[in-house]
């Protein structure tokens, strides 16, 4: 893909602001159920799209969604609402990145804005053979970015521990047993 440096080549660090994005979508009848409430899957797709743009901007290479760590719905969105997705990079590893997305819904008639959903997604950068490739380091400039980075590191530790438990469970079922109540 154009813009990707060869695997192993050094990548200049980038700020979180470099890749940050806000995307907006008008919610239409095809986005909703018969009650006029936007389907969760529609919101999820827009979350994945916004997070993917952030990861692509940071790497300027092909990226794929590896996981959605957390997706919490707080308030519904309705036909005619404007869905705004604010996405930014929280953490960068060797080939993976955590992107946080905040979704807000604006009632365009009243101006009321509600927090609709929040999500954390992990993306992996890929080389031309679809193997993980190194990504540019992340420069944290603000206290807010440093806080988000600390929280993302904690989520990453939990994710890695869970993967380790799952692997252990597959190889030794005795390690999977739930503790007695």
Q: Is the dihedral of CA 110, 74, 119, 16 positive or negative?
A: positive
Q: How many CA atoms lie within 13 A of 91 on its CB side?
A: 19
CA distances to 44, 46, 126, 153 from 73, in Å: 10, 14, 30, 23
In this prediction, residue 163 carries a pLDDT of: 86
Read off the pLDDT of residues 20-49 as tens digits, 9 standing for 90 and up.
Answer: 999 999 999 999 999 999 999 999 999 999
Read off the pLDDT of residues 101-145 as tens digits, 9 standing for 90 and up.
Answer: 999 999 999 999 999 999 999 999 999 999 999 999 999 999 999
Read off the pLDDT of residues 70-92 as tens digits, 9 standing for 90 and up.
Answer: 899 999 999 999 999 999 999 99
Any idea which of 69-73, 91-95, 147-151 has the lowest mean pLDDT? 69-73
pLDDT (mean) for 8-17: 82
Q: Give the count of beta carbons closer than 10 Å to the beta carbon of residue 95.
A: 19
Q: Where are the domains of the chain?
A: 14-173
Q: Is the dihedral of CA 111, 112, 114, 116 positive or negative?
A: negative
Does domain 14-173 fall under CATH 3.10.129.10? My reply is yes
66 has pLDDT over 70: yes
Q: Which residues pair with 89 in a beta bridge?
A: 99
Q: Is the dihedral of CA 19, 71, 181, 164 positive or negative?
A: negative
Q: How many CA atoms lie within 13 A of 71 on its CB side?
A: 13
In this prediction, residue 5 carries a pLDDT of: 59
């Amino acid at each position: 893909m154009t813009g990707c440096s060869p695997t192993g080549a050094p990548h200049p660090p980038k700020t979180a602001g470099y890749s940050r994005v806000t995307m907006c979508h008008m919610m239409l009848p095809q986005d909703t159920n018969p009650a006029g409430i936007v389907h969760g899957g529609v919101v999820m797709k827009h979350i994945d799209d916004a997070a993917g743009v952030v990861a692509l901007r940071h790497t300027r290479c092909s990226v794929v969604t590896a996981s959605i760590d957390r997706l919490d719905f707080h308030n519904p969105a309705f036909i005619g609402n404007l869905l705004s997705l604010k996405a930014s990079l929280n953490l960068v590893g060797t080939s993976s990145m955590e992107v946080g997305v905040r979704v807000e819904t604006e009632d365009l008639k009243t101006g009321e804005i509600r927090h609709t959903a929040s999500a954390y997604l992990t993306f992996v950068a890929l080389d031309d053979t679809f193997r993980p490739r190194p990504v540019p380091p992340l420069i944290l400039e603000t206290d807010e970015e440093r806080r988000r980075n600390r929280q993302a590191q904690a989520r990453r530790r939990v994710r890695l521990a869970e993967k380790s438990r799952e692997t252990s469970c597959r190889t030794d079922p005795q390690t999977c047993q739930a503790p007695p109540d």
